[in-house]
Amino acid sequence: MSAGRTSTLVKIILPLLILAVAVAGTRAMIKSRKPPVKEVRIDRGALVETMTARQEKHRIEVVVTGTVQPSQEITVTPQVSGLTTTLSLNLKAGGFFKQGEELFAIEGVDYELALERARAALAKQEFEMESMESKARVARAEWDRMKDKGGVPPSGLVLYEPQLKEARANLASAQAALRQAQIDLDRIRVTAPFNCVIRSENLDQGQYVRAGTGVAVITGTDQAEVLVAIDRTDLQWLTLGQEQDRLSPATVTLRSGTGAYRWSALVDRVLPEVDPRGRMVRLALTVDDPFMRNTHRAEGQPDLALGSFVEVAIQGRELDGVFALPRGALRDNDTIWIMDGEKTLRIRSVHVVRVDAQRIYIDQGLVDGDTVILTTITGAAPGTKLRQAGEEASS
């Protein structure tokens, strides 16, 4: 009985002892634990990118797109009829000709014979004229002898005056016919009236062509035109007029593959009708030597072919004493965010004189050296604390 009772007491007391030791250990750990260190947060300000505003001269640039068009283009029409006997090897689309080079020739036998007949007819009329003049001199001499005897004055017919007039008219007609025959013979050679490229042609050797019928379309290569449409308000920045040395210069850029190729241009004139799609003003710019016939061609540079879609940057007037900033720097209601000397945000109202695709131009509201904020800050308000990008790297 005593052994069983002892075993029962052990089973009861041992768990109580273990629990008491655990409670005592926990209390000791709690008393010995150090309080946590409180972290102090420092407001370092919103991280922003900035730029320094500088008051300088800036030239306005109007950037638009346009299409290349021929500056000079005609349809070649022979002035005489006949069979074509010779055709230039370059008389095909894309073939180039210099002014005065022969495009094709028409059979000239008929025109050579016509010239000979005209010469013979002229010789005959010259003989008739001399004969009539001789008869008129004889008639005049006879009248002079009879005049002393009191003869009746002769009529003009007796003195061959009408016959002389007819002979002179026939001679003039024969001379004109000879000149016309020579002109027709010269016209059997059809030459390029200016430096050109063949745009299209419809002609074969041995083909019969009629005077006045078009056989080819040629385009001048000395110049091309680029037609662009711009907003009417952009006209105020451009120089337009009749003085060639005062026209607004421009750069025409053709993007081909991975390359961008450029030509110089001038704003030539304002076209009389607006663009039908956007009611914008249309300008014509001239580009010299678009096919690079007389200027150096950069490696891989293509021709400025007709119909090409190009980018055009037109240089306008120069603005003095303005600030040029990225377009993203302009905030609502024509304001700019400035970082002051204490690195806090200030909102400044400005006067914008021009906005283009990339930049804004301001003439009032900024001071040279102002630090302009370029980064957009959510919930920005005057006094917002700021820090510039790059401060950590430099500190």
Give the pLDDT confidence of 267-305 residue by residue, as tens digits.
999 998 888 777 799 999 999 999 999 988 888 889 999
Say yes or no: 226 and 286 in one domain. yes
State the Cα–Cα distance between residues 106 and 211, nearest whole angstrom.
11
Q: What is the pLDDT of residue 275?
A: 81
- 248 with 268: CB under 8 angstroms? no
Mean pLDDT value of segment 7-23: 70
Examine residue 247 and state whether it is found in any structural domain, yes or no.
yes
Q: What is the pLDDT of residue 211?
A: 96
Min mean pLDDT across 32-41, 214-223, 244-253, 330-339 is at 32-41
Say yes or no: 285 and 170 in one domain. no
What does the pLDDT look like over 151-193, one tens digit per residue? Answer: 556 666 656 788 888 889 999 999 999 999 999 999 999 999 9
State the Cα–Cα distance between residues 2 and 343, nearest whole angstrom.
88
Say yes or no: 279 and 345 in one domain. no
Q: What is the pLDDT of residue 188?
A: 97
Min mean pLDDT across 80-84, 131-135, 226-230, 275-279 is at 275-279
- End residue of a domain, out of 270, 293, 317: 317
* CATH code of residue 195: 2.40.50.100
Q: What is the DSSP letter of 170?
A: H
Say yes or no: 166 and 210 in one domain. no
Min mean pLDDT across 17-21, 145-149, 304-308 is at 145-149
Instruction: Give the number of C-alpha atoms closer than 13 A to the C-alpha of residue 10, restricted to the C-beta side.
Output: 6
Record the tokens describing residue 221, joined without a space: 């290569």
Q: Is a pLDDT exceeding 60 seen at residue 233?
A: yes
Q: Is a pLDDT exceeding 50 seen at residue 1?
A: no
Mean pLDDT value of segment 375-386: 89
Mean pLDDT value of segment 336-351: 94
Examine residue 5 and state whether it is found in any structural domain, yes or no.
no
Examine residue 96 and state whether it is found in any structural domain, yes or no.
yes
Q: For the chain, how many structural domains are there in total?
A: 4
Mean pLDDT value of segment 325-335: 93
Min mean pLDDT across 5-9, 66-70, 323-327 is at 5-9
Say yes or no: 242 and 309 in one domain. yes
Q: What is the pLDDT of residue 306?
A: 94
Q: What is the pLDDT of residue 39?
A: 60
Say yes or no: 78 and 197 in one domain. yes
Examine residue 20 and state whether it is found in any structural domain, yes or no.
no
Q: What is the pLDDT of residue 395?
A: 47
Q: Is a pLDDT exceeding 70 seen at residue 391?
A: no
State the Cα–Cα distance between residues 206 and 104, nearest whole angstrom.
11
* CATH code of residue 243: 2.40.30.170
Say yes or no: 306 and 226 in one domain. yes
Q: Is a pLDDT exceeding 70 seen at residue 387?
A: yes
- End residue of a domain, out of 137, 164, 187: 187
Mean pLDDT value of segment 59-76: 95
Examine residue 289 and state whether it is found in any structural domain, yes or no.
yes
Helix axes 109-147, 161-186, angle to 10 degrees: 160
Say yes or no: 147 and 273 in one domain. no
Say yes or no: 200 and 100 in one domain. yes
- Burial 22-44, CB ≥16 within 10 A → b, else e: eeeeeeeeeeeeeeeeeeeeeee
Say yes or no: 368 and 281 in one domain. no
Q: What is the pLDDT of residue 392?
A: 55
Q: Is a pLDDT exceeding 50 seen at residue 28?
A: yes
Which residues, listed in sequence order, are joined to residue 345 by a DSSP beta bridge? 339
Q: What is the pLDDT of residue 149?
A: 59
Q: Is a pLDDT exceeding 50 seen at residue 353?
A: yes
Instruction: Domain of residue 158: give its range.
Output: 108-187
Quote the distance between the C-alpha of residue 207 and its chain's center.
Answer: 40
Q: Which residue has the tokens 């009248």?
A: 143
Q: Is a pLDDT exceeding 80 seen at residue 251?
A: yes
Examine residue 327 and state whether it is found in any structural domain, yes or no.
yes
- 359 with 326: CB under 8 angstroms? yes
Q: What is the pLDDT of residue 22?
A: 73
Say yes or no: 154 and 199 in one domain. no
Examine residue 31 and state whether it is found in any structural domain, yes or no.
no
- End residue of a domain, out of 317, 335, 368: 317
Q: Which residue has the higher pLDDT, 248 or 325?
A: 325
Examine residue 271 and state whether it is found in any structural domain, yes or no.
yes
Say yes or no: 306 and 267 in one domain. yes
**Average pLDDT of the chain to the nearest whole number:** 87
Q: Which residue has the higher pLDDT, 236 or 360?
A: 360
